[in-house]
Structure 1
Amino acid sequence: MLATPAEMVPTGDGWRHEVKWDGMRALIDVRDHRVRLFSRTERDVTVAFPELAAPVAALTDFEDVLLDAEIVVMKQGRPSFAALAERFNVVDAHTAAELSASAPVTAMVFDVLRVMGTPVTGRTWRERRALLTGINPSSKWVTVPPDFPDGEALLAATADEGIEGIVSKRVESKYVPGARSDDWRKSVHRRTASYVIVGWRREQAGSALGAVLLAEPTDAGLAYRGRVGSGLAGRRGVLLARDLLPLRRDTPPVVTGVPDVDAKDTVWVEPVLVADVEFHGLSDQGRLRQPSWRGLRADLRPADLLDPIPNPDPNLDPTLDEER
């Protein structure tokens, strides 16, 4: 279940409000004394976050549960998406263990979909929230963040703390797997979205990567949204160039709306990598305004930006199926 952008923060007793954590959405499946983590595209990411397995198993009072959470890396009291992005592609247990020491994650658990083997998605948010109190975490690795009655005050507080924003939830709403629902509404200080990388350009004075060209998947194909260079200086640009070099192609992918000035001297790549950027809305031409780089999204594929997000049935084992 995903949130829709809010025109304004909803008010009244029918809503509660939570901090919008800047991280990676994950399902935490606890079954038969075993903990597994799945990305929102159903990819098994358990090996990437070894520090979560034991705390989740120890803190859960229920034997068979499915939790909805946001995995974050906290730096100086706020989430760091850049630090978290380094852990997306980790499949080696030794590397994961090293990263868990240098950039440990916290699971911000905000919903429960299955309890004692029984789906609870048909219960209201208020009832599901009450079930989460049974977890009662006291660990730096797993926590159930508080919810608040005053969304406008919480939004102002997140701005002061440099946090992305808030999510407002209708207290009588049911959980609808895979749906983007108006019962959950997000209010953010600066918009964040995912786009497909279709090419890159060198710095004006050198050969290093200076900017990447981005496109949005639509029903009619890829639509150009502009280029982003802010945030790609130094090590970030070097690492991204390493990922893009093997994807180089001689001809541009089919992307509508790329102006000649942006196409000139661009190194085109296969449109297979997804990246997150922050920006201040779109221009009249559909271009990103003041974009800045946040990081690659190894947990997403280009098709995920167009198709509904597959969320497992809470009564089923969300086993990874790479062919889906």
Structure 2
Amino acid sequence: MLATHTDHVPVGEGWHHEVKWDGVRVLVDVVDGRTRMLSRNGNVVTAAWPDLAEPPLGERDLLVDGEVIALNDRGIPDFRVLQHRMHVRKASDATRLAEQIPATLMVFDLLRLDGEDLTGRPLAERRRLLEGLELSETRWQVPAVYDDGQMLWDATGQQGLEGVVSKRLTSRYRFDTRSKDWLKRAHRHRGSFVVGGWRPQVGTSDRLAALLVGEPTAEGLLYRGRVGSGITGATARMLQERLAPLHLAASPFADEVPRVDALGTTWVEPVVVVDIDTHGLGYDRLRQPSFQGVRTDLTPEDLS
């Protein structure tokens, strides 16, 4: 179940409010003591998270919805920290990275328990059952909820957290549905965009230095700007390896890319989604954009 964007935090006794975590969304399915972790697009990602795959309740049957998070050097959950882990499938590499970048699973919903489907029950009841599992001493944590959404909005802004998710207490859980029973409001001007090309470092022809990104619309992929900030070293090499097989002979953008950006660009098939931070929203071009990471859990269709 996905939250709908909102420009205000709802008020009233019918809602509770949670911190909006800057991490990777997963469903975690435990059957007979074996864990399967699924990304938003249904891929099995268990191998990437060996530190979270051990079920804290042993062989007890359950299905939970949550967010994998890791902290940056300021102690704030940060998606960029996770990007070095989320693509790993080799067991030895995953174990090494788990020691270097420990992750936590923030469990915010309980969908099945002891073989019983809970999705038809109201959120308030699912939440009570979730809190009763007593996960506090494990790598799985149940985040706090608050009655005062405005207070949480102010506090998350002051603490540098991403924002707030507000959930209607009577809401039932619906898989693969974006619902207005769950509302999200973010402090950061961060968005997901589709890569349509890359530009090389000045003086070279083969060293990636910037991405050209666009927004999927009914008119096609519309150009939103060039992003170079945040792309250095290992990140540039990772992006270049990911984009190399996607070469196109012509621009995939539906509108015209300015010549200053198009000159020297290698065009690519528009299938890779990235997160970009920008100063200000509502502009045709991203303002002071900064690359934040590749979103393997999203597709261009998710952004439409």
> 1:215·1:255 contact (CA, 8 Å) conserved in 2?
no
- After superposition, the CA RMSD in angstroms is 2.0
Query: Helix, strand or coil: the match of 1:7?
Result: coil
Offset of 1:92 from its aligned partner? 1.0
> 1:88·1:297 contact (CA, 8 Å) conserved in 2?
no
- In structure 1, the partner of 2:38 is 38
- In structure 2, the partner of 1:259 is 258
CA displacement 1:22-74 (0-9 Å, x = unmatched): 010000001121111000111000111111122xx2237x8321100000112
Query: Helix, strand or coil: the match of 2:70?
Result: strand
Letter in 2 for 1:253: P
- In structure 1, the partner of 2:209 is 210
Task: Return the alpha-carbon distance in structure 2 between the equivalents of residues 45 and 4 of structure 1.
Answer: 25
Offset of 1:86 from its aligned partner? 1.1
Task: Return the alpha-carbon distance in structure 1 between the equivalents of residues 276 and 291 of structure 2.
Answer: 5
> 2:195·2:212 contact (CA, 8 Å) conserved in 1?
yes
Matches within 5 A, 1:286-301: 286-301=284-299
> 2:223·2:253 contact (CA, 8 Å) conserved in 1?
no
> 1:215·1:226 contact (CA, 8 Å) conserved in 2?
yes
Offset of 1:206 from its aligned partner? 5.2
Task: Return the alpha-carbon distance in structure 1 between the equivalents of residues 155 and 57 of structure 2.
Answer: 29
- In structure 2, the partner of 1:10 is 10
Query: Helix, strand or coil: the match of 1:13?
Result: coil
Task: Return the alpha-carbon distance in structure 2 between the equivalents of residues 70 and 262 of structure 1.
Answer: 36
Letter in 2 for 1:100: A
Query: Helix, strand or coil: the match of 1:137?
Result: coil
Q: What percentage of aligned pairs have identical amino acids?
A: 48
> 2:15·2:168 contact (CA, 8 Å) conserved in 1?
yes
Offset of 1:121 from its aligned partner? 1.4
Offset of 1:150 from its aligned partner? 1.2
Matches within 5 A, 1:1-324: 1-54=1-54, 57-59=55-57, 63-75=60-72, 76-139=74-137, 141-204=139-202, 208-284=207-283, 286-306=284-304
Offset of 1:237 from its aligned partner? 2.5
Task: Return the alpha-carbon distance in structure 2 between the equivalents of residues 95 and 20 of structure 1.
Answer: 29
Query: Helix, strand or coil: the match of 2:107?
Result: strand
Task: Return the alpha-carbon distance in structure 2 between the equivalents of residues 304 and 13 of structure 1.
Answer: 32
Letter in 1 for 2:100: S
Q: Which moved more, 1:262-271 or 1:146-155?
A: 262-271
> 1:283·1:289 contact (CA, 8 Å) conserved in 2?
no
Offset of 1:250 from its aligned partner? 3.0
> 1:65·1:117 contact (CA, 8 Å) conserved in 2?
yes
Query: Helix, strand or coil: the match of 2:297?
Result: coil
> 2:62·2:111 contact (CA, 8 Å) conserved in 1?
yes
Offset of 1:283 from its aligned partner? 4.2
Offset of 1:142 from its aligned partner? 1.0
Q: Which moved more, 1:158-167 or 1:103-112?
A: 158-167
Task: Return the alpha-carbon distance in structure 1 between the equivalents of residues 184 and 101 of structure 2.
Answer: 27
Gaps of 5+ in 1: 307-324
Offset of 1:280 from its aligned partner? 3.9
Query: Helix, strand or coil: the match of 2:175?
Result: coil
TM-score normalised by structure 2 residue count: 0.91
Q: Which moved more, 1:147-156 or 1:251-260?
A: 251-260
TM-score normalised by structure 1 residue count: 0.86
- In structure 2, the partner of 1:318 is none
Query: Helix, strand or coil: the match of 2:212?
Result: strand
> 2:85·2:97 contact (CA, 8 Å) conserved in 1?
yes
Q: Which moved more, 1:213-222 or 1:157-166?
A: 213-222
Letter in 1 for 2:52: L
Q: Which moved more, 1:103-112 or 1:131-140?
A: 131-140
Q: Which moved more, 1:5-14 or 1:98-107?
A: 5-14
Offset of 1:157 from its aligned partner? 1.4
Offset of 1:140 from its aligned partner? 5.2
> 1:67·1:109 contact (CA, 8 Å) conserved in 2?
yes
Task: Return the alpha-carbon distance in structure 1 between the equivalents of residues 178 and 87 of structure 2.
Answer: 26
> 1:38·1:45 contact (CA, 8 Å) conserved in 2?
yes
Task: Return the alpha-carbon distance in structure 2 between the equivalents of residues 283 and 6 of structure 1.
Answer: 15
Gaps of 5+ in 2: none
